[in-house]
Amino acid sequence: MAKKTFFVTGTDTGVGKTTVSAAILQAAKEQGKRTLAMKPIASGCETTSAGLRNDDALILQSVITESVPYDLINPYAFEPAIAPHVAARQAGRTITAQRLVGFCRGLQTYPADLLLVEGAGGWRVPLNDRDTLSALPRELNLPVILVVSLKLGCINHSLLTAEAIRSDGLKLAGWVANRTESVAMNCEQETLSYLLEHIGAPCLGVLPWLERAAPEMLAGHLEIEHLFEI
């Protein structure tokens, strides 16, 4: 049974949730931890001989220590790179929060020290006309790790997302600042200082921009011991 499970969300799409998740998993592996991960919903998949495959889900599969089938890591895979609820409708499928909860609970039965569940987009990404993806961590009462892309507007996006997480009754376990552009944002240090003071959760690390962000090159920039104390 997975001892610790966290939900990884972002302030928006394209902020590096997979990069951060993979780095956390790598850091845990280097500490001798057994790890699992899942990306329940993925749009933007490629057709392969084995079926639809998503690059982000494959990255997670490559870095975890435990061997599990791809379909357990990414149960909902859609080809077009569009909003998941639209992709599901076009594919004639329906995504429900309860179905996702079932997939997650299934993976939680596997023995591991750490399981990361990576979201899609931001906190309020729709699953259907009623539910948003935030229903999954809410139903499972999962602590949340927030990924913040260091760019103009990130203070507002970060504080609003942190507020939404807490208003849903969940614990913000920590956050990671991720440099997603080769040129640092203006007044980056001032922005980081403000976030450190106002997010109200531990900063697990600040990841540098790398042209090829390999997990083993980023793991050393993280301090994840706090996650195993929650």
Percent of the chain beyond pLDDT 90? 97
Across the range 110-117, mean pLDDT stands at 97
Instruction: State how far the Cα of 161 lies from the Cα of 157, in Å rounded to an integer.
Output: 6
132: pLDDT strictly greater than 90: yes
Counting the structural domains of the chain, the total is 1
β-bridge mates for residue 51, sequence order: 48
CATH number at residue 48: 3.40.50.300
**What range does the domain containing 159 cover?**
2-229
Short-list 103, 139, 108, CA closest to 2: 108
How sure is the predictor about 89, in pLDDT bands with cuts at 50, 70 and 90?
Answer: very high
Mean pLDDT score, 46-70: 97
- The Cα 98–Cα 95 span in angstroms is 9
pLDDT value of residue 2: 81
Model pLDDT, residue 28: 98
Contacts with 204 (C-beta within 8 Å, 6 or more apart), sequence order: 24, 145, 174, 175, 176, 222, 223, 224, 226, 227
Q: Known catalytic residues?
A: 39
Q: State residue 211's pLDDT score.
A: 86
Mean pLDDT score of the chain, rounded to an integer? 96
For the stretch 139-194, pLDDT in tens is: 999 999 999 999 999 999 999 999 999 999 999 999 999 999 999 899 999 999 99
Q: Is 114 a residue whose pLDDT tops 90?
A: yes
